[in-house]
Amino acid sequence: MPKTIVIHPGTQHSWQTALAFQEENELISLITSIYCSDSLLEFVMKLPLNGNYKDKLLYEVGRRNAPYLDDDLVSTIGWAEYIEVFLRRLGYFKSAAWVDGIGNKSFLKSCRKIVRAEKPEVVWSFNMSSKELFEKKEQGVSYVLDQTIGNWEVYNQLVGGHYTTYKMFFREEFRSVPDELIQRNYTEIDLADKVIFGSEFAMQTFAGCGSGSNHIIPYGFDEKIFKSRAEKYNGGRLKFVFVGLLTPRKGIHLLLNVFSKLVEKYDIELTLVGGNQLPNGVLEKYLNGRIKYLASVPRSSIPGILSRHHCFVFPTLFEGGGIVLYEACASGLAIIQSKNCGDGIGNNNGVVMDDVTEEALEQSVVKLISDIGLLNTYMDNSYMWSKVRRWDNYRSKVRGLFNG
């Protein structure tokens, strides 16, 4: 295994990538922007704060902590990520993106200095955060690009194509991802020695791009916390669930329109879990006893929520992978997903929507409502399929890139 530096200004699945090398004692460092050490988490837990405030603070700190990583191997650089997170919390997404762009350049400038000083054999970096680093490669170092999302040109086509019909679900007029950012990503792929994708869909959106080798390494789920398996359906209300940001990119407009009709015909319900990024008042028009909203919850609450449902529905328009798909499989849920994401379905455990439309989604849902035997078979098969989508499988495949 090569001595490796992992670079990412956020969290995502970068902790698991770093852990893959740490487990072999080959991680020089994980360089990131915001990270909360175990000692900071313990300090927050001891603060004499009101229960509500303390819970919120622990949520924010906890989601930036990875207890399995050696804190001594984590380096934090950069101020911009803190400001970006703050602006996003306030809803200033354009300002947050502007700060993010400035912060990334400063972040990567510092990273180049560390790479020169530490002399790793591999630098593993992430899309939209690598261009300046890859343009000044150090001799004898292999540069890996972890492409965590599909091609933004395809995003413009897919999500932009829904804007005309579903304007009311967009916070503002749809703005395509600028060509400058698209070209930045193309440059990163062209300069990378290896490009890692989280799904077949993501890789296909870049077909013909780059001169390095391309690899698919699906993401995973944390087997340490996903231990609750859903009970198979045996009568009563059939329960569907969605976890993710409530945005048009995730297909929330399709979900709301379809289920608002179906709950009138069938004894079913839909639970939505995740941050609401719809225009003010839109979500509230759909909520009732059959369509419920739980907002954002700590990661530790997700296993319990999923295990109380029967089917996970994910009609996303555009993804890089789909960690939540594997979490749903680990919970033993049948899956309805679009083709534009990861392989949550791989063991006859659900339905893949070839067309990401209201019609296709409605047909998929009705198919399971009408065939409970098939639903329960999917639930069993999902649980079995999840065994090859644990994070330890992901880490093994990361190491496999360099073994032999």
Do 26 and 6 form a contact (C-beta atoms < 8 A)?
Answer: no
Q: Which two tokens stand for residue 235?
A: 């009568």
Do 126 and 144 form a contact (C-beta atoms < 8 A)?
Answer: no
Question: When comparing pLDDT for 41 and 17, which is higher?
Answer: 17
pLDDT of res. 106: 75
Question: When comparing pLDDT for 286 and 175, which is higher?
Answer: 286
Share above pLDDT 90 across residues of the chain, in percent, rounded to a whole number:
72
Task: Map out the domains of the chain with their CATH numbers.
Answer: 4-33+77-220+391-400 (3.40.50), 238-388 (3.40.50.2000)
- Averaged over 304-308, what is the pLDDT? 96
Nearest to 313 by CA among 354, 267, 275, 352: 352
pLDDT of res. 89: 62
Q: How many angstroms separate the Cα of 303 from the Cα of each of 279, 306, 309, 330, 351?
A: 29, 5, 11, 9, 22
Q: Which two tokens stand for residue 323?
A: 């960690």
Q: Which two tokens stand for residue 156?
A: 């413009």
Do 125 and 133 form a contact (C-beta atoms < 8 A)?
Answer: yes
- Averaged over 167-189, what is the pLDDT? 94
| Longest alpha-carbon distance in the chain | 65
- Averaged over 132-161, what is the pLDDT? 95
Judge whether residue 61 has pLDDT over 80: no
Identify the top-confidence range among 33-42, 109-118, 258-267, 395-404: 258-267
Judge whether residue 37 has pLDDT over 90: no
Judge whether residue 90 has pLDDT over 70: no
What are the residues whose beta carbons fall under 8 Å from the beta carbon of 243, sequence distance 6 or more? 273, 274, 302, 305, 306, 312, 324, 327, 328
pLDDT band, very low/low/confident/very high, at 194 (cuts 50, 70, 90): very high
Judge whether residue 264 has pLDDT over 70: yes
pTM: 0.89
Helices and strands (DSSP H and E) totals, the chain:
15, 13
- Averaged over 33-39, what is the pLDDT? 77
Q: Which two tokens stand for residue 85?
A: 């997170």
pLDDT of res. 36: 78
pLDDT of res. 169: 97
246 SS3 class? strand
